[in-house]
Structure 1
C-alpha cells in the first residue's frame, strides 16, 4: 500500500444466471482467482473472486428469494486496473470475450480495452490507477 494507491476496499457485486459458468469464464478469460464459492449444485449463494493486483468482486446466482439485494444479471460494468493489458486482451479474446472497445491509448495516460462477458456484463481493463487522493 502506498499513499497514492491505498488497498482496495470497495467490492463490486453482481448476480448471474449461470454463476458457476461466469466464475469459470472470469477465471479463464481474465485471471480472477476464485477465493471463495459457497452453494450447492448450480446455486452460488456467495462467491469472492480476487483480482491478482488487488481487490476483487463478489457474485452470486440470480434468484427470487425475497432478498432486498436484487440485481439484474448482465447489467454490471466494472473498470479493472491491470499492469499488462495487451496480454490480458489476448487472453480474454481467446476465451470468448466479446470486444466492445479495441486496445487503445487514452489522452489521460491509460492503455486498455473493454469486453462483454457471456452474461452481458461490461469489463474495462487498463493501466490507469486513478488520481492520488488529497492528503
Structure 2
C-alpha cells in the first residue's frame, strides 16, 4: 500500500525563460515579486545565465533572448507562465502593484482552498501567486 506524506516534496524543477531585456526583468522580479538574485552571468546588456531563488524554495533560471536559429533552447520572450506558492498573497499583491506589475486577476479565494492573484511582468510572462502548496505525494 502506498504511504502518503504530510508535505509535498521540496521543488527540484527550475522553470526557465528568455527575455528581451533580461537585466530589467531580473530587477522587476526582485522588486515586484520578491525573488532573490543568486547568480547572473554575462556582459553588458547580455545575460547568458541567471538564477533567482524563491524565498519558500526553488526558483527560476533566465537569460537573454538570442536571434540564433541554431539555439537549442530557443524560447520566445513573453510566453512563460508559472504558479508560485506564497504565504502572504495580500502583501505580495500590494508589493507587485506598487512595483508596476499588471494585475490580470485580482486577489480571490479558490474552490480548492487557495488565496491567489495573477500578474504579467514587463516581458508579458504570466505569474500566478497563491497559498496552494499542491497535494501530498503518495509513495509506494
* The two structures share one fold, judged by TM-score above 0.5: yes
Give 1:64 deviation, angstroms: 2.2
| CA deviation vs aligned residue, 1:81-123 (integer Å, no higher than 9, x gap) | 0000000000001000001000000010000100000000000
Q: Which has the higher contact order (CA 8 A, sep 6+)?
A: 2
Q: Aligned pair 1:120/2:124, yes or no?
A: yes
> Which protein shows a greater Rg?
2
Q: Aligned pair 1:71/2:75, yes or no?
A: yes
Taking the aligned partners of 1:32 and 1:82, their CA distance within structure 2 comes to 11
Q: Normalising by structure 2, what TM-score?
A: 0.93
Partner of 2:8: 5
- Correspondence for 2:49 among 38, 46, 50: 46
Unaligned runs of 5+ in 2: none
- CA root-mean-square deviation: 1.0
| CA deviation vs aligned residue, 1:41-100 (integer Å, no higher than 9, x gap) | 000000000001100000000012322100000000000000000000000010000010
Q: Normalising by structure 1, what TM-score?
A: 0.97
Q: Aligned pair 1:85/2:66, yes or no?
A: no
